[in-house]
Amino acid sequence: MKVAFKAPDFWWQAPSWQAAALSPLALTYGAVAARNLDKGRRAPLSVPVLCVGNPTVGGAGKTPTAMALARAAIALGRTPGFVTRGYRRKGSAILVVDGDRHTASQTGDEPLLLAKIAPTAVSADRRKAAERLIDEYGCDLIIMDDGFQSARLRTDYALLAVDARRGLGNWQVFPSGPLRAPLKTQLAHASAILMIGTGEAGAAVVSEAARSNHPVFRAHLLAENGQRFQGMPVLGFAGIGHPQKFTETLKACGARVEMTRAFPDHHAYRPQDLARLSQEAWKNGLQLVTTAKDAARLATGTEAARLFLAECEVLDVTLSFENAGAASAIVKETLANFHRRRFGA
């Protein structure tokens, strides 16, 4: 059984004794990760590849970013397709997601959201997954949700998403900190940085991006159905990378957030979890509210999970770039880079 990982608190604090104690492991991990980025066998595809990753472990808004870029690509007349690993999914075969037939355990939770926008293939073999989308679904642009550090596909544009409130934490490499590889190496393979939200921690990342001549885009996660929560007394619960972001968004919608319950990212809700949440909400006269990602897991889970979801409201969010033309500009730059790579002009 896979256990959901929870990032330790010291990752998001000033360098500590815990980080120092783990530095030998971090040095080894960082060296391997850097070599993979520098020497990875990146398979070329016959269509442009746009990668949305993040430099740290945990969620930073990659999936909403990938969805926003796909919508921009569709508006430009392209036929995008998503490729993703499908975190914690059962099985290893390439699977093109069917939201009416597949469950979160078969695909992972985020692919179910992606598949609402464009054809989505899940597999650890991203090249074969992408080729299936190209051959069977006519996709002429592949968007990778994560996979930046795996170096499996040759990318034409790599956008690294950063949570402005958390930044890069203590700027240490895993397991001393949240970085997936040394920052200098990651930036060498990135095209641009996307700063999501607001926060002082993001300022240092912006400065580092400026020193390395990387463009910085800014965006915010906005509630699509926020008005319905105005004045509503709620118990908010979430199993995502940064549950506090969900709570902050609920408060920004005007919800009266009386209680919150945080679970690890991609948490598989157990019957006792659901019973406890339901009892707490009923006892305190609160409306249960969760995220679209959590709802995807519950909706394709057990009958008890589906019945529990019927008691819940779902907060839908979308990523909005501060510059309205940014998403289209990123897609166009991806296409231009591909053209230069393929045809040398």
Q: Which CATH number belongs to the domain containing residue 77 in this structure?
A: 3.40.50.300
C-alpha count within 13 angstroms, C-beta hemisphere, residue 314: 14
pLDDT band at 60 (very low <50, low <70, confident <90, very high): confident
Shared-domain flag, residues 235 and 93: no
Q: What is the pTM of this model?
A: 0.93
Feature table: binding site? 56-63
Mind listing the pLDDT tens digit for each residue in 297-333? 999 889 999 999 999 999 999 999 999 999 999 999 9
The stretch 137-159 carries a mean pLDDT of: 95
pLDDT tens digits, 268-290: 999 999 999 999 999 999 999 99
In this predicted structure, the answer to whether residue 4 has a pLDDT above a threshold of 60 is: no
Same domain for 231 and 103, yes or no, is no
Domain that holds residue 173: 18-221+320-343
Half-sphere exposure of 89 (CA within 13 A, CB side): 26
Q: How many domains does the chain have?
A: 2
Do both 60 and 132 map to the same domain?
A: yes
pLDDT at position 178 is 95
- Which pLDDT does position 103 carry in this prediction? 87
Using the Cα atoms of residue 92, residue 53, residue 222 and residue 324 in order, give the sign of their dihedral: negative
Residue 76 inside a domain? The answer is yes
By C-alpha distance, which of 129, 153, 146, 157 is closest to 55?
A: 146
Q: Are residues 331 and 309 in the same domain?
A: no
Q: Per the domain annotation, does 2 fall within a domain? A: no
* Average pLDDT value for residue range 73-96: 89
Return d(Cα 163, Cα 59) in angstroms, integer: 8
- Residue 299 sits in the same domain as residue 187: no
Are 26 and 65 found together in one domain?
yes
| pLDDT of amino acid 5 | 56
Structure confidence by residue, pLDDT tens digits, 101-122: 988 888 888 999 999 999 999 9
Same domain for 212 and 195, yes or no, is: yes
Q: What is the pLDDT of residues 238-267, one digit of tens each?
A: 998 888 889 999 999 999 999 999 998 889
Task: Look at residue 179 in the predicted model and tell me its pLDDT.
Answer: 96
Task: Give residue 343's pLDDT.
Answer: 83
Instruction: Output 52 or 4, whichever has higher pLDDT.
Output: 52
Q: Is residue 91 part of a domain?
A: yes
Residue 92: is its pLDDT beyond 80?
no
Q: What is the pLDDT of residue 2?
A: 43
Annotated binding-site ranges for ATP: 56-63
The pairing of strands 216-223 and 317-321 is antiparallel
Cβ atoms 90, 105 nearer than 8 A? yes
